[in-house]
Structure 1
Amino acid sequence: MSNKAWGGRFSEKPEDWVDEFNASVGFDQILIKYDVQGSIAHAKMLAKQDIISQADCDAIIKGLTEILKDYENGNLPLDISLEDIHLNIEHELIKRIGDAGGRLHTGRSRNDQIATDMHLYTKDEVNEIISLINAFQQTIVDIAEKHIETIMPGYTHLQRAQPISFAHHILTYYWMLDRDKTRFQDSLKRIDISPLGAAALSGTTYPIDRHTTQESLEFANLYENSLDAVSDRDYIVETLHNISLTMVHLSRFAEEIIFWSSAEANFVTLSDAFSTGSSIMPQKKNPDMAELIRGKVGRTTGHLVSMLTTLKGLPLAYNKDMQEDKEGLFDAIHTIKGSLRIFDGMIASMTVNVNQLQSAVEQDFSNATELADYLVNKGVPFRTAHEIVGKLVLWAIQHNVYLLDVPLTQYKDAHASIEADIYEYLKPENCISRRTSYGSTGHDAVKKQIEVIKQKFKTTNE
């Protein structure tokens, strides 16, 4: 007799290497907690509907609970010839409690069983990702509050553009993560749906109660169509997309950390705990954690593309191709959770080199726009002012000085309306303080931004 659940139809035994190629138990055992949870809910419903006896239900629950405990203690051998975690559990259950174990699968298919496990798993993991994003956002806000008046160069095209508040810069990533978080939160509406009871594709002839298992498993909704229930992988694609986009945002932040911590910038100093050295150059301190996060975007984006490609052209309902939905999702979730934890610790422990940042904005031309605005306030058309300032910057470059060092006589030659107050006007701290528009880098505007964030946190946590 074959040990396979579908073995009755087959007269030949597959080669071991075929079993290995077909098996998923090497990676889908991560679902064992959810498989047991779903099976217990199914058994209770079967007993409630008088499809199985209460005695069988009790034996099934006891057996499943013991199997899960043995697995967690490392005492449950898994057989690759049984393909997946679902059949391994069922085989072990029947071995332990006899015929009662064989009744568990009544009114259920591996198709809706697997789908149920994946929905439960994804729901839990997405909620954990949301919690990790929350924690990371709080760390960003904590740093921002300490550095509202810390000035740094703002960049476009990786060229010095205008002086900005360090707090304003780092809060940009708070808002990126906030959009990421809302995408994950919204996706729960499409994850939190029970497929259990859809069976293979067409439902079942047994008088099951899908609402009972939905409530038992705390799903918000039920699939209304049994074919859709077992073939839907939209929620996995959506989760992979949300992970990929969040990882892109982390990668952008990582690139800034890598640049900021370079000797050329020296804007921040990373903790030794989040850096590594060189095997040949003893002086090196490398931002490897940031680089790894930047590099892992290739993995998560690859998993998204892989899943989309796998689903393309699949007919209804279940196809074995769908076994490929798991490894990529498992890895992407593991990757983003690790990345969020590492990034949180990395920036919480880094030192912001305030003096170096201040020095940087005093030795560049990022206050050039302010000079143009000064002239506009004197009645000069902006385009004319732009040209005047461009020529002054060229003169300063040729004479190896910055705008704060240009003699007043030179300013007067450029335009007679420029007065001695220009030097106070062009100081980086004054450039920032004049930025009063909503959402800008001005100190008051940044404080208002932090107030808005704190109110969001308060509203979310109430």
Structure 2
Amino acid sequence: MSLRGGTMTYHNPKGRMGRRLIALTLGGTVAGFATLAAAQSEPEQRDEFFWLSQINKASVVINSQEGLLDPALAPEIAGALTQVIADGDQPDAERPGTVISFEPLWIEKGGIDVTLVHAGRSSQDMHATYRAAMLRDKLLDLASQLDATSTTLVDLAETHAETVVPNYTNGVAAQPNSYGHYLLGHAAGLARDAERIREAYARIDRSAMGTTVLNGTSWPLNRQRMADYLGFAALVDNAYDASQISSMDQPVEVAGIVTSVSLHVGNFVEDVMTQYAQTRPWILLEEGGDNTYVSSAMPQKRNPGILNNARSDASQAIALAMGPVIQTHNITPGMSDPKSVEDNAAMVDAGISALGRLDRVLKALRINPERALEELNSDWTASQELADLLMREHGLPFREGHHFASEVVTYARANNLGPLDFPYAEAQRIYAETVAETDHAKELPLTEEVFRATLDPVAIIRNRATAGGPQPAEMTRMITEARADLTERQDWVKARRDHIATALSTLDADFGALLTE
């Protein structure tokens, strides 16, 4: 893609489509145009040239059928347009991406009469329309990768539903948890990103065609029919909003989604990095490829290349997402600053890349359950359970129980003791001192067996009782619901793609029919 003198053009790479179109007969047959339409409909070809072509095709059909264009002229005008499209699809051909660069080619093929199609149109509404069409395609690409990465997360969560590991808050080991439960938490964050995509898509999936510059036209254009042909679900209602406000809002809203997605990727990667940096981590990466690489100087090191790359991808996406926000700041309505198709596509592609890299990270993770349990039992991440049990079963106010558990930890760390070897007699002494000035009995109401069982990380996870916790029944429920949600999300993407494809196919058939009249 290049920008020269305000004209944006695509340089079409050599490929199967160009080779297919070399042999295309431009005699105006429906079969020939169907071949052209099928080639053009490939997603990778939906650039500005493609959408200008679709808009022009729809204009010819609608205007000739609704009295805005002499039907006798329609076949010749349509044939000229077919030639322009075929020329643009040749290998290495220029694919003009603006109205003012597309129209001269059409005039060259069909004469000045082709401009009769321009009734009530402007580059303002035409460009706003193709930008929205291209951005919605990008959102569907982002949604597809998001769903793929989320599926990997949920699959891994199911695999590790019963794997007990430390979780961290403020960078410090906090409580035991199921690793599967932890992963479902991250999947929930991505699920909200999927919601944001669907919500934004509904606002972007609206046609600006027929609004002209900013206040409509005296031509009685059938805006709804145009929207239907281009696969839009609705119209931008207000003509001023169409190209002056909403077309500036759209990249900013998508930038917010890309930012959220990338923050989720970065948060996950940094959490893994914290653990990976330990001398004996319980989470590692499968070695080989670009997952890890050996230091050039220190042979013991296995640098986490894939984690570094994922973090870098996420950071790059966030940096690009700042662009539309900054470009929209302090400009008058309708200015082109934040509307660059190339820049906004690069922003979304960066988000897709970050999600794709996260997917690879997830597939490269290797969890060591035994080492994770050792980590838990070497520290006091289960100590809150003492306070909870004393309050739940023995009526001790939580703050008193919390003080008791805190004193146990203080003593343990001062004497290099872990939960598995803490002397029960010391627990009894600390408890008696903690409640000395209260009305509670001074004897620790937990037997030694119960005291030690209370500090068992595996038992803590198994005995959780709140909805949304890591206990087996809730894990089964949440995994089932997560999979159902993923199915709905994937169906949504497919339905949107199918709707656009069906609309464009209908347009191709109706336009092709003009060529035989």
Task: Calculate the TM-score normalised by the size of structure 1.
Answer: 0.85
Counterparts of 1:94 and 1:405 in 2: how far apart (Å)?
89
Aligned length: 439
Which residue of 241, 254, 267 maps to 1:252?
A: 267
Counterparts of 2:208 and 2:87 in 1: how far apart (Å)?
28
Which residue of 273, 278, 288 maps to 2:305?
A: 288
Counterparts of 1:342 and 1:163 in 2: how far apart (Å)?
28
Percent identity, aligned pairs only? 22
Structure 2 residues not aligned, in runs of 5+: 13-45, 432-442, 493-517
Residue 436 of structure 2: aligned partner: none
* Offset at residue 385 of structure 1 (A): 2.0
* Offset at residue 271 of structure 1 (A): 5.3
Which residue of 415, 430, 436 maps to 2:465?
A: 436
Residue 197 of structure 1: aligned partner: 210
* Offset at residue 42 of structure 1 (A): 1.9
1:25 partnered with 2:9: yes
Q: Structure 1 residues 301, 343: CA separation in 2 closer, same or farther (over 3 Å shift)?
A: closer
1:144 partnered with 2:157: yes
Alignment of 1:33-52 (within 5 A): 33-52=50-69
1:275 partnered with 2:291: yes
Q: Which amino acid aligns with 2:9?
A: V
* Offset at residue 145 of structure 1 (A): 0.9
Residue 352 of structure 2: aligned partner: 337
> Any conservation in 2 of the 1:424–1:430 contact (CA below 8 Å)?
yes
Residue 15 of structure 1: aligned partner: none
Counterparts of 2:295 and 2:61 in 1: how far apart (Å)?
59
* Offset at residue 166 of structure 1 (A): 0.2
SS in 2 for 1:275: coil
CA-to-aligned-CA distance 1:178-200 (integer Å, 9 cap, x gap): 11111111112211111111122
* Offset at residue 162 of structure 1 (A): 0.7
Q: Structure 1 residues 396, 319: CA separation in 2 closer, same or farther (over 3 Å shift)?
A: closer
Alignment of 1:62-73 (within 5 A): 62-73=79-90
Residue 366 of structure 1: aligned partner: 381
- Cα RMSD (Å) of the superposition? 2.9
Alignment of 1:7-406 (within 5 A): 20=4, 22-25=6-9, 30-54=47-71, 56-77=73-94, 84-231=97-244, 232=246, 233-264=248-279, 265-270=281-286, 272-277=288-293, 280-281=296-297, 283=299, 284-316=301-333, 318-321=334-337, 324-376=339-391, 377-406=393-422
Counterparts of 1:125 and 1:359 in 2: how far apart (Å)?
46
Counterparts of 1:427 and 1:170 in 2: how far apart (Å)?
22
* Offset at residue 405 of structure 1 (A): 0.8
> Any conservation in 2 of the 1:274–1:346 contact (CA below 8 Å)?
no
Structure 1 residues not aligned, in runs of 5+: 1-18
Counterparts of 2:313 and 2:139 in 1: how far apart (Å)?
19
Q: Which amino acid aligns with 1:163?
A: P
> Any conservation in 2 of the 1:270–1:346 contact (CA below 8 Å)?
no
> Any conservation in 2 of the 1:130–1:184 contact (CA below 8 Å)?
yes
SS in 2 for 1:25: strand
Counterparts of 1:263 and 1:65 in 2: how far apart (Å)?
64
* Offset at residue 440 of structure 1 (A): 1.3
Counterparts of 1:358 and 1:310 in 2: how far apart (Å)?
50
Residue 456 of structure 1: aligned partner: 485
Q: Which segment is superposed worse, 154-163 or 235-244?
A: 235-244
* Offset at residue 263 of structure 1 (A): 4.6
Counterparts of 2:350 and 2:193 in 1: how far apart (Å)?
16
